């Protein structure tokens, strides 16, 4: 089953990447990033099945960090929305060189 | 015994004698140069901002803080400093290339001059170190007389560089030839230093002058005492440097600075030849020390192309340093420097370095007869060419300058013919009488300047048309200069007679059946070349007598043209300047006793110099003279008589045909009549030819091709501006598009990068 | 592998992938979020089937239950529920390119497995207790990381509060965004 789990993990990750590249709504892009993190969690769990419990510990960490990141990221998106009235990534180009 | 073997076998007879201290001869002048140099820096340093080209005027003027010299001048009456003199110039000075700004001043009031702040100290240190060096040289000489060594005494000090088979050391070689040269350089140098104490007394650059002069003596001694070519080259370059520094001593006048530059640049052409010769010598003989090189030359067949090439390139160096055709043009311009400098550097010592080089490399030249013949040809042509120009010069120093070039031609004919001793002999006697002539001219110029200063007039103090009848006012100078004139003309029993006659005799003798005469020069048989050289030299002797007598007539005889008011201020120069003149005068008279030919053996000891220099120069001379037919006693006597007759005829012609009374002062003098007069006065327009043919094209190429075309047009436009134009369009656009500020784009780049890295791992 | 097990494994896997694809292709953010929740549930099932019971539970509790809820909060707060921006999804060319990249990425990830498929040891260690091993590992070997994570959470909380606050957040955000005075003033006027 490990191979199949990894197989799914890879596909989910790729789907996440496609989502990041395709979508312009910042929140949706953020959710795609969460999807990628989930795919990675699946890999970790699969390997933990083989090699011991450290993989699950790491999944705990990943989830924690994902939660923190989601909080801060969404706060940023809110703040940005207040200024630019949009969450369209194409319109958020103040860093344009 | 071959020199090198002797030196290797056991202790040299000179070891443990005062000759061990010969390094003092170098150290003393160097120390003097350093001390005087420091003093010069202290006195002539401008604290604070300094604007040499006052473009800031009025209220924005940058007023330099005064140097020590200028402060001394403010507390005491005006000192004609270099800077002060220049600031007073309302207009550029009159006069030609050979500038007469002897005292750095053109116009203005002439209150009695004050002194350089360190005058007493410099006056002791400057000449003192050279006199000390002379003393050491004398002691070494006496030791050498006692020991009478066959082989050279080589003292090695430090290893300079070792690279593969190349090994160069700082080594001094003391043999008869270098001993003689050392004595001449330090002796005549000391006299000229003493003379300078009086001559340069009122100059603000007093310390700088003696620093340069001491440094020159140091480098010249390095040159003559070197034991290998590279160390000699150090001296060679060093004297060129000091020559530049001293010629442009009054550098605030552009003409003087230009003269210094010209000397150095023309010299450099010769130096390149010297370097190439050194490369060839090393390439063939794997050593650059004189001893091993001379031994190795014996192994090659005479006349081989390698030897000829090396000798010719060495001679190119001599052509530059010793002012032969075509690189003599710097010497007349070098008269822009102070007169004692001209005496020391451009008469007695530096210009003779080329002759010394050929003599030192005698073995090489003897094994390359074609090169020796080239030396003869160039020397003979120069002798006549320069003498002809001297016939029509009005500046007293220019006459002497061309005379020097001509006499150097004589020396080169001598060493070219293989009569190395004759060449060195003439070198020594020429040092005596030419230094005397220059110092005498300096005395004359000094007196003229004093007179002009006193009356406030501003005229050329060096032009003979402003002189005349000075024998009444400068009697001692007058008599010593006549002694020198008779010497240079070759009147028996003065010094120049013996040396010049020996050269003529050697040339004539070599033309008949010697090894050299069997060689050919560009297809012309050697005997023809030598005969031709002999004829040219005789013509040159005639012209020498004429122009020297002309100089004496116009300067000392006839009515005085200096002016009513000035005449009252003309007086003999002080004792400190007269003493060297007297000593050199005595030497010009008795100097010929150094090498009396056997023909005139009744006059005194025969061939002293021959015997003295035999260990060094005997072998190469014999090689070139092998097989010659000696002239009969009667024929020799005839030749000697003819030489004297020619000289007397020249003097007589000058006395009879030239009327000093017909001269007018320079200011009222008519221009030269066209034709031969004007051509000679302008030195065959050689300078103008070089200007038009070499300098102008070089400047044009630099300005238009290299600067406008290559530098501005191509490098600046294409590479600098072009790149500056292309990059924003190409890389700049790419970079800008990457910096869109949009997260989506960044995500793309990120993913692509990750893909790339992953690919590197997976697709191995 | 018993059929029951592998059938359900594939089932949940396919649900996960299908809902992920659905999530990525929705226009409405709310719909997308809900599809993501389904994906997470499927993943939780997979975790349980891989004997990571604890992880499966906290996946549902934390990820699906807390993080996705926050996402939905923000979507609702910013009133982005309607699919107003028709241009949300990029041009066809962009989508094709993204698709290609995705395929390439997946292919690469899967080639890692090629020939090196890990085989389960014959007697796989099935932990009797679900939580104890994890807790033991977490609080002994990785204690430092655990502590750091707690600080990280604290920082995140503080940061989120600071960033999202209306008054001070605006000034700080304007500094962060490069200080375009006009924008912030407009923002202040609009948001006040």
Query: What residue numbers bound the domain in which A57 lies?
Result: 2-88
Same domain, C42 and C73: yes
Residue B497 burial (10 A CB sphere; 0-12, 13-18, 19+): buried
Residue of C nearest to A39 (CA): C43
Record: contact B736-A97, CB cut-off 8 A: yes
Which of B14-23, B265-274, B638-647 comes out lowest in average pLDDT?
Answer: B14-23
C20 and C101 in a single domain? The answer is yes
Of B265, B326, A23, B209, give the one whose Cα is nearest residue C33: A23
Average pLDDT rounded to a whole number, residues C87-115: 76
Residue B86 pLDDT exceeds 60: no
Q: Which residues contact B181 (CB under 8 A, 6 or more apart)?
A: B224, B356
ipTM of the complex: 0.92
**Mean pLDDT over residues C167-182, rounded?**
52
Mean pLDDT over each residue of chain A, to the nearest integer:
89
For residue B476, give both structure tokens. 């001692």
Cβ-defined contact of A83 to C17 (cutoff 8 Å): no
| Residue (of B245, B516, B520) closest to B366 by Cα position | B516
In whole angstroms, how far apart are CA B518 and each of B511, B513, B548? 9, 7, 37
- CATH number of the CATH domain containing A26: 1.10.287.3510
* Mean predicted lDDT score pLDDT of chain C: 80
How far, in Å, are B328, B392, B536, C30 from residue A76 at the CA level? 87, 99, 104, 19
- Contact assessment for residue A38 and residue C40, using Cβ atoms and an 8 Å cutoff: yes
Predicted confidence at residue C102, as pLDDT, reads 85
Task: Specify the pLDDT at position C80.
Answer: 64
The pLDDT of residue B407: 94
Domain of residue C100 covers 1-88+96-128
Angle at the Cα of B421 from the Cα atoms of B376 and B267, rounded to 5 degrees: 55
pLDDT of residue B93: 32
Position of tokens 């070039």? B405
Task: Specify whether C84 is located in the same domain as C148.
Answer: no
Q: Mean pLDDT throughout C51-78?
A: 92
pLDDT band at C172 (very low <50, low <70, confident <90, very high): low
Answer left, alpha or beta for residue B15, where phi above 0 means left and psi between -120 and 50 means alpha: beta
Q: What is the pLDDT of residue B151?
A: 86
Chain C residues whose CB is inside 8 A of the B759 CB are: 108
Residue A11: which of A54, A40, A47, A50 has the closest Cα? A40
Interface of A with C in 67-96 (CB under 8 A): 67-72, 74-85, 87-88, 94-95
- How far off is chain A from C19, nearest CA to CA, in Å? 10
Closest listed residue to residue A29, CA positions, set C62, C159, C36, C64: C36
Tell if the CB–CB gap between B758 and C101 is shorter than 8 Å.
no
Q: Which region, left, alpha or beta, applies to residue C169 given φ > 0 means left and ψ of -120 to 50 means alpha?
A: alpha
Residue A62 confidence (pLDDT) = 95
User: Min CA distance, C130 vs chain A (Å)?
Assistant: 10
Instruction: Examine the pLDDT at B49 and tell me if it is beyond 90.
Output: no
* Co-location of C112 and C166 in the same domain: no
- Give per-residue pLDDT as tens, B147-170: 888 888 898 989 998 888 888 999
Contact B743 A92 (CB under 8 A): yes
Annotate B597-607 with b (16+ C-beta within 10 A) or e (fewer): bebbeeeeeeb
pLDDT of residue B9: 56
Neighbours of C, requiring at least 3 CB pairs below 8 Å, are A, B
Nearest to residue B309, comparing CAs of B286, B279, B266? Answer: B279
φ/ψ of B289, rounded to 5, equals -80, 145
B189 close to B321: Cβ distance less than 8 angstroms: no
Question: Best residue in B748, B755, B762 to probe C by mutation, most C CBs within 10 Å?
Answer: B762
Residue C188 lies in a domain: no
Question: Does residue C122 sit within a domain?
Answer: yes
Q: Structural domain tally of chain A?
A: 1
In a mutational test of the A interface, the residue from B731, B738, B743, B758 whose CB has the highest number of chain A CBs within 10 Å is: B743
More confident site: B184 or B561:
B184
Give the number of C-alpha atoms closer than 13 A to the C-alpha of residue C29, restricted to the C-beta side.
29
A94–chain B nearest CA distance, Å: 6
Tell me: do C27 and C104 sit in the same domain: yes
Is A30 a member of any domain? yes
Q: Collect all residues of chain A within an 8 Å Cβ-Cβ radius of residue B748.
A: 21
Neighbours of C3 (CB within 10 A): 7
Domain of C84, CATH number, reads 1.20.120.1200
Range with lowest mean pLDDT among B460-464, B739-743, C43-47: B739-743
Neighbours of B439 (CB within 10 A): 34
Does residue B80 surpass a pLDDT of 50? no
Confidence of residue B92 (pLDDT cuts 50, 70, 90): very low
Strands B520-521 and B524-525: antiparallel
In sequence order, which residues have a C-beta less than 8 Å from that of residue B398 and are 6 or more positions away?
Answer: B98, B332, B335, B390
Over the range B319-336, which residues count as b (16 or more CB within 10 Å of their CB) and which as e? bbbbbbbebbbbbbbbbb
* Neighbouring residues of A23: CB distance < 8 A, sequence distance ≥ 6: A29, A32, C24, C88, C89, C90
pLDDT of B519 strictly over 70: yes
Q: Is the pLDDT of residue C136 over 50?
A: yes
Domain assignment of residue C190, yes or no: no
Is the pLDDT higher at B118 or at B72?
B118
- CB contact burial B191-201 (16+ within 10 A = b; e otherwise): bbbbbbbbbbb
* Domains contained in chain C, number: 2
Q: Is the peptide bond before B23 cis (omega within 30 degrees of 0)?
A: no
B314 with B374: CB under 8 angstroms?
Answer: no
Give yes or no for a contact between B405 and B305, defined as CB atoms under 8 angstroms apart.
no
Q: B63: helix, coil or strand?
A: coil
Mutate one of B744, B751, B756, B757 to test the C interface: name it (highest C CB count within 10 A). B751
Q: For residues B115 and C171, give the distance between their C-alpha atoms in angstroms, rounded to a whole number.
A: 79
Interface mutation vs chain A, best among C134, C148, C154, C161, most A CBs within 10 Å: C134
Tell me: do C149 and C58 sit in the same domain: no
Question: Would you give the DSSP letter of residue C121?
Answer: P
Q: What is the pLDDT of residue B107?
A: 34
- Give C73's contacts (C-beta < 8 A, 6+ positions apart): none
Mean of pLDDT over chain B: 84
Residue B330 has pLDDT above 80, yes or no: yes
Same domain, C20 and C106: yes
Percent of chain B with pLDDT over 90: 41
CA dist B409 and B470 (Å) reads: 31
Which of A36-40, B587-591, B707-711 is least confident? Answer: B707-711
Query: Is residue C191, in this structure, part of any structural domain at all?
Result: no
When CB atoms are compared, the residue of C90, C101, C108 closest to B759 is C108
Q: CA dist B622 to B309, B510, B626, B741, Å?
A: 22, 11, 6, 93
Q: Which of B386, B323, B311 is nearest to B354 (CA)?
A: B323
Instruction: Give the C-alpha separation, B609 to B691, whole Å.
Output: 44
User: Sorting pLDDT into bands at 50, 70 and 90, what band is B21?
Assistant: confident
Bin A52: left if φ > 0, else alpha if -120 < ψ < 50, else beta.
left
Q: Please give the angle made by the CA atoms of B586, B590 and B593, to the nearest 5 degrees.
A: 160
Strands B520-521 and B166-174: unpaired
* C135 within domain boundaries: no
Q: Are residues C160 and C123 in the same domain?
A: no
Say what percent of chain B tops pLDDT 70: 90
A13 or B706: whose pLDDT is higher? Answer: A13
Question: Which among B724, B704, B728 has a CA at the least distance from the CA of B716?
Answer: B724
| Residue B202, φ and ψ in degrees, nearest 5 | -95, 15
Residue C50 domain flag: yes
Among B464, B547, B584, residue whose Cα is nearest residue B195:
B584
Distance CA(B307)–CA(C95), nearest Å, equals: 84
**Chain A nearest-CA residue for B737:** A97
Among C105, C110, C137, beta carbon nearest to A54: C137
Query: Does C22 reach chain A within 8 Å, measured CB to CB?
Result: no
pLDDT of res. C191: 41
Task: Tell me the average pLDDT across B343-357.
Answer: 88
- The answer as to whether C189 is a domain residue is no
Indicate whether C155 pLDDT > 50: yes
**Local structure of B226: helix, strand or coil:** strand
Give a yes or no: residue A40 inside a domain: yes
Helix (H) or strand (E) holding B157: strand B153-163
Element (H, E) at C151: helix C143-164
Residue A97 with chain C: CB contacts under 8 Å: none
| CB within 8 Å: A12 and C125 | no
Whether C101 and C163 map to the same domain: the answer is no
| Residue C29 sits in the same domain as residue C103 | yes
Query: pTM, whole model, 2 decimals?
Result: 0.71
Pairwise CA distance, residues C19 & C1, whole Å: 26
Tell me the backbone φ, ψ of residue B157, rounded to 5 degrees. -110, -65
Helix axes B575-590, B420-455, angle to 10 degrees: 150
Query: What residues contact residue B425 under an 8 Å CB cut-off, 6+ apart?
Result: B498, B499, B502, B594, B595, B609
Statement to judge: residues C83 and C26 lie in one domain: yes
Domain check: are C77 and C159 in the same one? no
With bands split at pLDDT 50, 70 and 90, how would you rate the model's confidence at B398? very high
Flag whether A95 is in a domain.
no
- Model confidence band, residue A75 (pLDDT cutoffs 50, 70, 90): very high
In chain B, what residues touch C112 (CB-CB under 8 Å)? 761-762
Residue B110 has a pLDDT of: 41
A95 vs B739: CB contact, 8 Å cut-off? yes
Residue B748's SS3 state is: helix
- Per-residue confidence (pLDDT) for residue C125, from 0 to 100: 62
Peptide bond preceding B326: is omega within 30 degrees of 0, i.e. cis? Answer: yes
Residues B501 and B540: their CA atoms lie apart, in Å, by 13
| pLDDT for position C168 | 54
- Which residues in chain B are closer than 8 Å to A94, comparing Cβ atoms? 741
- Identify whether C183 is part of a domain: no
Mean pLDDT of all residues in B278-283: 93
pLDDT band at C107 (very low <50, low <70, confident <90, very high): confident
Q: Of B8-12, B338-342, B560-564, which gets the smallest average pLDDT?
A: B8-12
Q: Is the pLDDT of residue B293 over 70?
A: yes
pLDDT exceeds 80 at position A27: yes
């Amino acid at each position: 089953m490990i191979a199949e789990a990894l197989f799914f993990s890879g596909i989910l990750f790729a789907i996440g990447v496609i989502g990041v590249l395709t979508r312009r709504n910042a929140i949706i892009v953020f959710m795609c990033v969460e999807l990628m993190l989930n795919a990675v969690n699946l890999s970790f769990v699969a390997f933990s099945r083989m090699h011991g419990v450290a993989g699950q510990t790491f999944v705990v960490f990943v989830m924690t960090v994902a939660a923190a990141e989601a909080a801060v990221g969404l706060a940023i998106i809110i703040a940005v929305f207040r200024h630019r009235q949009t969450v369209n990534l194409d319109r958020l180009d103040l860093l344009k060189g | 015994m071959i020199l090198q073997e002797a030196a290797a076998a056991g202790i040299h007879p000179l070891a443990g004698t005062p000759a061990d201290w010969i390094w003092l001869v170098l150290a003393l002048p160097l120390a003097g140069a350093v001390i005087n140099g420091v003093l010069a820096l202290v006195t002539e340093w401008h604290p604070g901002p300094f604007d040499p080209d006052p473009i800031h005027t009025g209220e924005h003027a940058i007023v330099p803080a005064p140097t020590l010299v200028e402060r001394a001048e403010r507390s005491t009456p005006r000192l004609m400093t270099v800077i002060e003199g220049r600031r007073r110039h309302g207009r550029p000075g009159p006069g030609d290339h050979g500038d007469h700004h002897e005292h750095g001043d053109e116009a203005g009031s002439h209150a009695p001059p004050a002194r350089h702040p360190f005058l007493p100290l410099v006056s002791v240190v400057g000449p003192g170190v050279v006199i000390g060096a002379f003393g050491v040289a004398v002691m070494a000489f006496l030791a050498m007389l006692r020991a009478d060594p066959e082989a050279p005494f080589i003292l090695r000090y430090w290893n300079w560089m070792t690279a593969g088979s190349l090994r160069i050391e700082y080594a001094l070689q003391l043999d008869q030839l270098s001993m003689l040269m050392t004595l001449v350089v330090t002796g005549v140098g000391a006299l000229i230093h003493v003379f300078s104490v009086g001559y340069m007394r009122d100059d603000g650059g007093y310390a700088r002058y003696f620093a340069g002069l001491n440094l020159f003596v140091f480098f010249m001694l390095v040159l003559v005492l070197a034991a290998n070519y590279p160390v000699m080259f150090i001296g060679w370059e060093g004297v060129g440097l000091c020559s530049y520094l001293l010629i442009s001593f009054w550098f605030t006048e552009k003409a003087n600075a230009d003269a210094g530059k010209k000397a150095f640049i023309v010299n450099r052409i010769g130096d390149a030849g010297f370097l190439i010769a050194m490369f060839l010598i090393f390439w063939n003989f794997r050593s650059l020390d004189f001893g091993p090189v001379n031994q190795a030359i014996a192994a090659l067949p005479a006349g081989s192309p390698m030897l000829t090439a090396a000798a010719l390139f060495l001679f190119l160096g001599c052509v530059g340093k010793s002012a032969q055709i075509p690189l003599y043009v710097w010497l007349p311009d070098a008269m822009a420097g102070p007169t004692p400098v001209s005496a020391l550097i451009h008469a007695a010592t530096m210009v003779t370095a080329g002759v010394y080089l050929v003599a030192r490399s005698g073995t090489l030249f003897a094994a390359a007869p074609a090169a020796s013949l080239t030396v003869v040809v160039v020397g003979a042509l120069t002798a006549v060419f320069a003498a002809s120009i001297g016939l029509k010069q009005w500046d007293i120093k220019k006459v002497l300058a061309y005379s020097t070039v001509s006499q150097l031609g004589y020396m080169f004919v001598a060493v070219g013919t293989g009569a190395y001793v004759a060449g060195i002999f003439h070198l020594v006697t020429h040092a005596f009488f030419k230094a005397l002539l220059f110092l005498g001219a300096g005395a004359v110029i000094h007196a003229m300047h004093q007179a002009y200063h006193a009356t406030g007039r501003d005229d050329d103090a060096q032009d003979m048309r402003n002189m005349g009848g000075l024998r009444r006012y400068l009697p001692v100078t007058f008599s010593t200069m006549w002694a020198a004139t008779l010497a240079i003309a070759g009147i028996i029993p003065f010094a120049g007679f013996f040396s010049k006659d020996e050269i003529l005799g050697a040339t004539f003798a070599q033309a008949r059946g010697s090894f050299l005469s069997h060689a050919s020069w560009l297809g012309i048989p050697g005997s023809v070349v030598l005969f031709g050289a002999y004829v040219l030299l005789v013509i040159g002797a005639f012209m020498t007598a004429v122009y020297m007598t002309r100089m004496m007539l116009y300067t000392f005889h006839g009515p005085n043209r200096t002016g009513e008011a000035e005449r009252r201020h003309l007086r003999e120069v002080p004792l400190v300047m007269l003493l060297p003149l007297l000593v050199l005068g005595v030497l010009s008279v008795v100097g010929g006793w150094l090498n009396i030919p056997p023909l005139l053996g009744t006059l005194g000891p025969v061939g002293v110099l021959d015997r003295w220099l035999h260990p060094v120069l005997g072998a190469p001379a014999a090689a070139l003279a092998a097989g010659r037919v000696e002239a009969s006693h009667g024929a020799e006597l005839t030749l000697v008589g003819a030489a004297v007759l020619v000289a007397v005829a020249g003097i007589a012609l000058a006395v009879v045909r030239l009327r000093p009374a017909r001269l007018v002062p320079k200011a009222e003098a008519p221009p030269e009549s066209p034709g031969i007069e004007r051509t000679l006065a302008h030195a065959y327009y050689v300078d103008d030819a070089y200007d038009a043919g070499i300098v102008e094209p070089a400047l044009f190429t630099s300005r238009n091709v290299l600067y406008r075309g290559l530098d501005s047009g191509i490098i600046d436009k294409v590479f600098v501006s072009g790149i500056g134009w292309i990059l924003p369009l190409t890389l700049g656009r790419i970079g800008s598009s990457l910096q869109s500020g949009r997260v989506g784009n960044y995500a793309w780049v990120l993913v692509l990068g990750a893909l790339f890295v992953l690919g590197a791992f997976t697709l191995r | 592998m018993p059929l029951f097990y592998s059938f359900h494994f594939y089932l949940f896997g396919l649900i996960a992938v299908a809902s992920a694809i659905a999530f990525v292709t929705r226009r409405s953010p709310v719909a997308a979020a809900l599809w993501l929740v389904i994906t997470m549930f499927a993943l939780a099932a997979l975790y349980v089937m891989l004997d990571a019971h604890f992880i499966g539970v906290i996946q549902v509790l934390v990820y699906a239950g807390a993080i996705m809820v926050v996402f939905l909060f923000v979507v609702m707060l910013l009133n982005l529920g309607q699919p107003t921006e028709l241009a949300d999804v990029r041009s066809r060319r962009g989508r094709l390119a993204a698709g290609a990249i995705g395929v390439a990425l997946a292919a690469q990830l899967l080639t890692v497995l090629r020939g090196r498929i890990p085989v389960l040891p014959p007697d796989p260690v099935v932990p009797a207790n679900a939580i104890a091993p994890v807790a033991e590992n977490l609080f002994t070997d990785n204690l430092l990381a655990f502590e750091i994570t707690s600080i990280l959470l604290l920082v995140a909380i503080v940061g989120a509060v600071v960033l999202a606050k209306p008054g001070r957040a605006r000034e700080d955000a304007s500094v962060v965004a490069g200080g375009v005075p006009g924008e912030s003033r407009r923002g202040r006027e609009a948001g006040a």
